[in-house]
Chains A and B, each alone.
Chain A
């Protein structure tokens, strides 16, 4: 039974690019150190923003810039959030007041006011033809 479902999902996944799928290419600038991971998440709605990503990827950090591609996304709007997990502990470390200790970035390089930017400010419009964007870690 489980195997059947998995096979069906794989078939769907393989079929998806043929239906409608777009690639999002993200260049992450100002990577301070070639250690740890860049943790990248996409959110497809304000209700799930910074709670449940529609897609998340992590890649090894390279000092300077790191580029990655998130393939096969349904075209639409996605808010982008990135942090550099410098010490590789799988968490975004924060100081005792809750202020991030590790570098962060959001779509459109949006910045908030003592907190994350709003969903709409960090939202990218991904067309069927795909999109290349860049963000700067701060």
Chain B
């Protein structure tokens, strides 16, 4: 009788996991290491793609004046280790998570940074070499149990319900201590959701409810989560989405969850990394469109699928419904072509050309009755869009976003903007040559009366001086330049995403 149980359950369970397979054989990459370090010696601007060793702790020198009502901690995360034993990862998304906190208070800024001690980080540190497959690098020196064995916890750092989570997109959140940043362990929201993918871009509604999704490329399954402000799972489900590829972010409106699925085929080749198995299907005579998949929040079922011309997508600003849910508007950044592969070249030290028209912040409008999706450009050369926390899921009028100045020869996000999404006007400030700007977030003043009633806070890398700088702008007057810059005596790893927690 036990025979029957094995027959039914073991192959089914493990077989499904295997269908989302990651690479199998090992390939060291010393070539990427050599070409990157040769390029870095000529071009210190590439230091944003270099790693760090150990922990960091320091006090920043404040230039200008920090607003007295800006008090709290800016939590950030990004890849901090790209190299081990003379080998270098081939994709920017592969590095191990380095959690950071910038604490602002009483006119001072203190910084702390520390690697997230994931199972992967601990195993590979002990072995002195990379062991497991990374998103864009094909390594398989050691078998592993499941996706959380590969969890790099490197994409976002989210304060929620009094706790702090380092987020990746292919597996669980990793809880870290909000003060020391010491790793506390894998977070399981509910027993039956162990090792589920939990994306790095949850959205927190103004009432404190957390919405998130999880996807394993190639699985055709999109997991959805609604988690109460107390951390209890209120709703969880799975919807089937055929030809599902990398899904990095989404947007949430009053009634809908909005996903944009770029046209990739997932190639079944065990000798390629997961990134390498994404074959762009948005060009040529057989080009497929980009799909907008809208899920109804109340039922967690697909309401309607729309089509856009083929684009790659990483990040969204916000979504909102109009006419009782008959129309949904959302802002995102649309990339031309296979941007996933392009992000690999910087790891070899090859800069991308500056093509502002190739990545634009765009407003998309969905009409459910007609099934039509229309779009209008907001800002060229854009990436890393954010909105004020109090407008998540509601009508927003401002979008904070970075951009690469038109005059740059190579792509370099060097400008911060607050875009008026109704008029298309941008309130902007450019940091200048040698600077690389990281994601900036909008922080409301207490009792804020509008979306510019607050601050634009972020980090910028002064690559000529090898220093990292916290920047604070008046959200209503970005073009006046920073109110304050807080300069560290060292370089921190370049982060992907972060969140400000006011005290």
Contacts and interface: CB of A to CB of B under 8 A. Distances in A.
Contact of A96 (B15, B23, B146, B223): B223
A49 to B, nearest CB: 9
B42 interface: no
Given A50-B11, A113-B133, A115-B14, A99 B147 contact: yes
A16 interface: no
Interface stretch (B192-200, B319-327, B404-412, B444-452): B192-200
Contacts of A112: 14, 18, 143-144
B379 interface: no
A97 B221 CA distance: 7
A43 B24 CA distance: 23
Interface string A64-105: 000000000000000001010000001111111111110010
Contact of A115 (B21, B196, B219): B21
Nearest to B215: A97
B6 A39 contact: yes
Interface in A95-138: 95-101, 104, 110-117, 121, 138
A115 B10 CA distance: 11
A56 interface: yes
B2 A98 contact: no
A50 B14 contact: yes
Most central of A52, A93, A100 by chain B CB within 10 Å: A100
A115 B15 contact: yes
A49 B157 CA distance: 42
B21 A97 contact: no
Given A97-B20, A98-B14, A114-B20, A90 B5 contact: yes
A110 B8 CA distance: 22
Size category of the A interface is 20 to 34
Nearest to A100: B13
B23 A94 contact: no
A36 interface: no
A138 B191 CA distance: 16
A69 to B, nearest CB: 16
A24 to B, nearest CB: 16
Contacts of B122: none
B143 A138 contact: no
A41 interface: yes
B141 to A, nearest CB: 11
B22 interface: yes
A95 B196 contact: yes
Interface in B113-154: 133, 140, 142-147
A50 B8 CA distance: 9
Contacts of B143: 110-113, 117, 121
A121 B19 CA distance: 19
A100 B191 contact: no
B221 A53 contact: no
A57 B21 CA distance: 30
Contact of B10 (A81, A96, A117): A81
Contact of B2 (A50, A56, A93, A104): A56
A12 to B, nearest CB: 19
A98 B15 contact: yes
B12 interface: yes
Nearest to B197: A97
Contact of B3 (A41, A96, A110, A138): A41
30 contacts: A41-B2, A50-B10, A51-B11, A52-B3, A53-B3, A58-B2, A91-B5, A91-B9, A92-B10, A94-B9, A95-B194, A95-B196, A96-B192, A97-B16, A97-B20, A97-B196, A97-B219, A97-B238, A98-B12, A98-B14, A101-B195, A110-B143, A111-B143, A112-B144, A113-B22, A114-B21, A114-B147, A115-B18, A115-B21, A116-B18
Task: Give 10 closest A-B pairs by Cβ, nearest first.
Answer: A98-B16, A115-B18, A111-B143, A94-B13, A56-B2, A116-B14, A50-B11, A92-B9, A96-B238, A91-B9
Interface of A: 39, 41, 50-53, 56-58, 81, 83, 90-101, 104, 110-117, 121, 138
